[in-house]
Amino acid sequence: MSCDLLIVGGEGDLALRKLYPALYSLWVVGCLPEDIRIFGMARRHMTQDEFLSRVREWFDKRKSAREFEEQAWAGFSARLTYCSLDATDVASLHTLREEHLDDDGRDLVVYLATPPGIFGPVCQAIHGAGLARANARIVVEKPLGEDRASFLEINEQLTRVFEERQVYRIDHYLGKETVQNLLALRFANTFLEPLWNNKYIDNVQITVAESIGVSGRWSFYDDAGALRDMVQNHLLQLVCLAAMEPPAHLESTAVRNEKMKVLSSLRPLDAETIRDDFVIGQYTAGNVDGESVPGYCEEEGAEPKSDTETFIAIKAHIDNWRWAGVPFYLRTGKRLRERFSEIVVEFKQVPHAIFPDQYLLDAPNRLIIRVQPEETISLQLMNKVAGLDVKTPLRSVTMDLSFPEENEPGSTPDAYQRLLLDVIRENPTLFVRADEVEEAWKWVDGIREVWQSTRKRPERYPAGSGGPTGAIEMVARDGRRWREYD
């Protein structure tokens, strides 16, 4: 299959930091079509050599520069072309088409690595230049709106030109290796499925904890906050994969239909749940990894009185047969003690304890799917302590279900490698359909509306801590605790 890839915003942060390195890694392992052509498009004037050295610079900055090989780079960079053109201008795209993209038989992937404000004009220009052909695909990434209404507007601009089957909405969490492994674990094994319901599962905890702050994008973040920046997309996608019914097959429609059912079963939060089951926080100055860091309102470009949440914890419910009564505790925050993302499935206690002190141990069986920094899956089980003690003492042991070589950092593909490859191969399964995004916004909009009416304000937590104590109390009120407080 022959394919051309046009990256609009081709000298921006996303392209340089994520897209070119991922494409290069795919090239190195021979996964890209040999005749692929990659066009980086941006308005800034730059020579081809300048462009290549900017792309190359990022490899040198990356820790995984060890995979860099001069020979592979020579082959890869020969496929890269910089086009200093305005993507919102039809005439510019006509020029591009005439000079490079005139072979309609080649697939065309257009990656909009730009803010959504220009999606509409770019799509119109692509259409005007005759590039929105049947074998074209368009890739977009969050933020896809700031609420349901603005998402629908953005989506309308895309779908005016492209059919839904041509639109690939990236949520990079779906490209992460362990996230996909969750599907394999659930649906390629028999032993979990009979237990995967409210009869045996006590609660599910989904955490995306970050130690970084707002990384120089204070104003963007201040408009979004953790609910819209992380929960609406990444966390809800993880909820979907953990909670969905087994799809009939792996084809995208079947998978997305099942995810959609989860999203539409999320219980809306009312004023009472916002008070008790919803915690927001904002970091103050503190110490992360031995370094002093400023508080959120003292970051560069910050406004001193912002009440934007940099942490959020929600007790969510999925109102269906499988999950009735099982809380899904969701939590994400910035400037926390440690960076880790995980899904913890906590099982109920045995119905009848026959070992002395078994209940006192209070160590439930847990399946822990660690998404980052390590990518591991482990199972916590009760085990007998070896020896002749007549009381048969027990202890909780952790079994590692992942292969050791998979635990080595850098040995699994980056999310963007997986996702770019899927777009090139025309496989939309790991991309988010419009109705999913809309449904996720509906839930989030509902929360924001009630939250604003209650005027709840964020609880302050020091940078480098475990987050607001309210999040610990929320779970403790249910007689439970977050896994790391074991």
Query: How would DSSP label each residue in 39-52?
Result: EEEESS---HHHHH
Question: Are the C-beta atoms of 171 and 234 separated by less than 8 Å?
Answer: yes
Task: Examine residue 309 and tell whether it contacts ligand BG6 (CB under 6 A).
Answer: no
234, 249, 317, 352: the active-site residue:
234
> Looking at beta carbons only, is 231 or 297 nearer to ligand BG6?
231
Cα–Cα distance for residue pair 327/466, rounded to 1 Å: 21
In the complex, the smallest distance separating the C-beta of residue 238 from ligand BG6, rounded to whole angstroms, is 11
Provide, rounded to whole angstroms, the least separation between the CB of residue 304 and ligand BG6.
Answer: 22
The per-residue DSSP string of 146-160 comes to SSHHHHHHHHHHHHT
b/e burial code for range 29-65 (CB count within 10 A of at least 16 → b): eeebbeebbbbbbbeeebeeeebbebbeebbeeeeee
* Nearest residue (CB) to ligand BG6, 115 versus 246: 115
Site string for ligand BG6, 121-160 (x = CB under 6 A): ---------------------x------------------
Which residue's CB is nearer to ligand BG6, number 196 or number 218? 218
Q: Are 442 and 268 in contact (CB under 8 A)?
A: no
Backbone angles phi, psi at 160, to 5 degrees: -65, -30
Q: Which is nearer to ligand BG6, 76 or 111 (CB)?
A: 111
Q: Which residue bears the tokens 């994520």?
A: 18
Can you tell me which residue has the tokens 């960076």? 339
User: Quick one: 101 or 371, whose CB is closer to ligand BG6?
Assistant: 371
Distance CA 386, CA 365 (A): 20
Residue written as token pair 């505790």:
329
Nearest residue to ligand BG6 on Cβ basis = 229
Strand partners, 139: 111, 168
Q: Which of 402, 343, 405 is nearest to 372 (CA)?
A: 343
Minimum Å distance from CB 102 to ligand BG6? 36
Question: What character string, x for contact with ligand BG6 (CB under 6 A) and - otherwise, covers 153-182?
Answer: -------------------x----------
375 touches ligand BG6 (CB under 6 A) = no
- Asked if 342 touches ligand BG6 (CB under 6 A), the answer is no
Query: What minimum distance in Å lies between the beta carbon of 311 and ligand BG6?
Result: 12
Q: Crossing angle, helix 177-187 and helix 236-243, to 10 degrees?
A: 20
Joined together, the tokens standing for residue 54 give 């900017």
* Residue among 31, 159, 4 nearest 416 (CA): 31
Q: Determine which residue in the list 11, 146, 210, 422 makes contact with ligand BG6, applying CB under 6 A.
A: 210
CB of 415 to ligand BG6, least distance (A): 7
Among 229, 414, 422, 436, indicate the residue that binds ligand BG6 (CB under 6 A): 229
Q: According to the binding rule CB under 6 A, does residue 439 interact with ligand BG6?
A: no
Closer to ligand BG6 by Cβ: residue 19 or 136 = 19
Could you tell me the smallest distance in angstroms from the CB atom of residue 172 to ligand BG6? Answer: 6
User: Does 299 help bind ligand BG6 (rule: CB under 6 A)?
Assistant: no
Q: Any residues with CB less than 8 A from the CB of 216 and at least 6 apart, and which? A: 300
- Residue 209, φ and ψ in degrees, nearest 5: -105, 135
How many residues bind ligand BG6 (CB under 6 A)? The answer is: 4
> Which lies closer to ligand BG6 via its Cβ, residue 125 or residue 154?
154
Is 352 a known active-site residue?
no
Q: Please give the residue ranges that form the binding site for ligand BG6 (CB under 6 A).
A: 142, 172, 210, 229
Catalytic residues: 234
